[in-house]
Amino acid sequence: MDTGPMHLLPNSCLKDSHYNGIASPVGCRWRLAWVVEWNPVLPSLLHNASGAEFLRYAPISPMFGAGFAFAGLWIYSSVWSMDLWHLPNFGITRRSFSGVSPLFTLLDLKCEGMNRVNALANPVELVDDGMDATIITGSLNFIDGTTTFNSATVAAVGDEFIAQDIGFQNTAGPEKHQAVALRVGADQSVINRCKIDAFQDTLYAHSNRQFYRDSFITGTVDFIFGNAGVVFQKSKLVARKHMSKQKNMVTVQGREDPNQNTATSIQQCNVIPSSDLKPVQGSIKTYLGRPWKKYSRTVVLQSVVDSHIYPAGWAEWDAASKDFLQTLYYGEYLNSGAGAGTSKRVTWPGYHIIKTAAEASKFTVTQLIQGNVWLKNTGVAFIEGL
């Protein structure tokens, strides 16, 4: 059961209207590291029923209030040491994305069965031991009364968000319809070597500039959606088996204004079926995407597209939005694989078989998200151009 969102708050967000309390991490094992201002915390050593040691940082500053202190931030380690300037030593090095130290900077996390997280800090890092080693889970969903926006297991809002070697999951299942595992609205955000796992609406690439590298993203209907300027590189985009009478859509892009520099760019990725979809892919149509809004933009560049992709490649949103087919921009460039052939693709005015490197380059890290400037500070590998 989801007990409510957990927030990671910097100075600027202490009075944020989105803050509505912190869920108690009962039943979780954490390994967290925070940078803390002088004298805002009171450490206390506690014991759980099995005798494992926990260090709780109980904030005593009035701006947090008793509710925050009660919920606590739990840091688990069998061996630890600290003083008012240093945190428990987990053998890790503090990283600073921009050189600015907020009240809290998350360095490292270890959790089993953690509840929802809203990452409002600027910057926040979620870093762990592997996409399958640590998985943050939630189950909020549309059918049970939560909006798509608020169903996210993890929501990253503060700029310069980094997630690395960690998993995000919404376990609601296909019968619950929209159920987001990760929502990102943080500018200059980086998702590296992560797994994002759900069914419908898995990844909400909501807004701003985002970069995904060496990640595994799986779902069914509209499983990558939003209106960010986003580039996926060297990642696996995995369509999975769903309920009957549905169609899989890898992407749904929501650009509403032709002046917006937003698009979904899939570069040097593998667009593949899951192991349960592959045997029945002939009976389940899977498309590269469909237009959520009038000026939707999505491109697939230099990627491997498997045979599960329906020959038409792209689908309409609905019968009432046929004018979108005139104004969208969908493109494919130098793809390979059994599903990459373009001879039977849609013939919409807005669909393009991209012919030149100059045209394809508009959707690269450098030109779409200006990542050649800010990604260098993250230590994450990236391809600037084609």
Catalytic annotation, residues: 222
Amino acid at 343: S
Strand, coil or helix: 368: helix
Strand, coil or helix: 373: helix
Q: How far apart are CA 168 and CA 131, in angstroms?
A: 8
Encode 180-220 in three state secondary structure: CCEEECCCCEEEECCEEECCECCEEECCCEEEEECCEEEEC
Which residues lie closer than 8 Å to 61 by C-beta, 6 or more apart? 40
Residue with tokens 């926040």, as numbered in its chain: 124
Strand, coil or helix: 29: coil
**CA 238, 243, 245, 251 torsion-angle sign:** negative
CB 18 within 8 A of CB 120: yes
Pairing type for strands 236-239 and 270-273 reads parallel
Contacts 24+ apart (CB under 8 A), 316-325: 316/290, 316/291, 317/290, 317/291, 317/292, 321/291, 321/294, 323/294, 324/291, 324/293, 324/294, 324/296, 324/350, 325/291, 325/349, 325/350
Pairing type for strands 224-226 and 73-76 reads unpaired
Q: How far apart are CA 152 and CA 211, in angstroms?
A: 19
Residue with tokens 């701003």, as numbered in its chain: 208
Residue with tokens 């667009």, as numbered in its chain: 271
DSSP string, 73-139: EEEE-SS----SS-----S-----SSS---S--------BS---EEE-SSS-EEE-S-TTT-EEEE-
CA-wise closest residue to 78 among 125, 113, 110: 110
Q: How far apart are CA 143 and CA 2, in angstroms?
A: 15
